[in-house]
């Protein structure tokens, strides 16, 4: 197994209302390719901040991140966006589909950003995989929460990500829909050999990923394999 993500002594400060707030302190961990990892912890413990830094959505204040062998240190937003589009997929709690685009067009966005041609068949195939072949021309507002999240999953997998980040992907869904969404993420992950890093508050779900990183007050306080 090789390492796909290495995080070393990571720190993040925010300046808020004139005050300097340290929300991550010296976070160090690494993730093996094709593995599944959950990040859990109380609200405000820094989970979303950590996930966003690892995915290149934001810039660290200190420390280093290496994603698929590429260092994110010191990269500006454009360079981070390129790396994100090349190697990562991201699933948000509130789906974050573009409201003026259809389901199909939302899935096409990452492919078109990469300048790829003839990508409609691939996007349609992904929508079929998530069970939404018949909804490809619907707009987000015409879809249920579970359907919107399935479109977001198809979009996240559209550029064949090496690593998929998911931030509370079932947080806004009922229990039955959540289970369907999680199975879909796990199945696609296995099928495509993607690495998964997921923030969740659901301990039962976390236990299903094989490894759980617990955070408290901006630091990791335990990092354990789960024995099922
Ligand atoms: P979690 O995901 O565990 O709930 P977050 O990473 O969202 O935690 O937040 C960690 C801390 O950072 C919280 O105290 C939050 O208020 C603060 N925080 C997050 N984003 C910002 C921001 N953009 N500006 C200022 N403070 C922030």
Residue indicated by tokens 């078109």: 112
ipTM strictly over 0.95? yes
Report how far ligand 1's centroid is from the alpha carbon of 226 (Å).
Answer: 27
The ligand 1 atom at the shortest distance from the C-alpha of residue 15 is 25
State which of 15, 44, 198 you would mutate to test the pocket of ligand 1, scoring each by most atoms of that ligand within 8 A of its C-beta. 44
The closest alpha carbon to 94, from 48, 39, 160, 42, belongs to 48
User: What are all long-range contacts of 19-25, with beta carbons under 8 Å and residues at least 24 apart?
Assistant: 22/61, 22/218, 23/49, 23/218, 24/49, 24/50, 24/53, 24/218, 24/219, 25/217, 25/218, 25/219
Domain total in the chain: 1
Separation of CA 46 and ligand 1 centre (Å)? 6
Cα-based distances in Å from 176 to 149, 179, 188, 217:
14, 5, 19, 32
Give the domain CATH number at 142.
Answer: 3.40.50.300
Q: Given this model, what pLDDT does residue 41 score?
A: 96
Q: Indicate whether this model's pTM tops 0.90.
A: yes
Residue nearest to atom 1 of ligand 1 (CA): 44
- Tell me, what's the pLDDT at 228? 52
Task: Report the chain (228 residues): mean pLDDT per 10 consecutive residues.
Answer: 94 92 96 96 96 95 95 92 93 95 96 88 94 96 96 94 95 90 91 95 92 97 78
Tracing tokens 């550029």 back to the chain, one arrives at 159
Provide the residue range defining the domain that includes 117: 3-225
């Amino acid at each position: 197994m090789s390492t796909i993500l290495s995080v070393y002594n990571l720190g993040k400060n925010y300046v808020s209302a004139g005050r300097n707030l340290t929300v991550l302190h010296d976070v160090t961990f690494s993730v093996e390719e094709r593995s599944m990892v959950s990040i859990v912890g109380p609200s405000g413990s820094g989970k979303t901040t950590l996930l966003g830094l690892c995915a290149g959505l934001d810039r660290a204040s200190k420390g280093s991140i290496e994603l698929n062998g590429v260092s994110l240190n010191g990269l500006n937003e454009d360079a981070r966006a390129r790396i994100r589009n090349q190697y990562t997929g991201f699933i948000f709690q509130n789906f974050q589909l573009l409201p003026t685009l259809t389901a199909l067009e939302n899935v096409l966005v990452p492919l078109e950003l990469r300048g790829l041609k003839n990508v409609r068949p691939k996007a349609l195939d992904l929508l079929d995989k998530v069970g939404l072949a018949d909804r490809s021309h619907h707009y987000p507002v015409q879809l249920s929460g579970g359907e919107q999240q399935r479109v977001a999953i198809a979009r996240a997998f559209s550029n064949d990500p090496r690593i998929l980040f998911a931030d509370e992907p079932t947080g806004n869904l009922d229990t039955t829909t959540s289970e369907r969404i999680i199975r879909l993420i796990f199945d696609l992950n296995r099928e495509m050999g993607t690495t998964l890093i997921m923030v969740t508050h659901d301990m039962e779900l976390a236990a299903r990923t094989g490894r759980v990183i617990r955070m408290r007050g901006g630091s990791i306080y335990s990092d354990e394999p789960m024995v099922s």
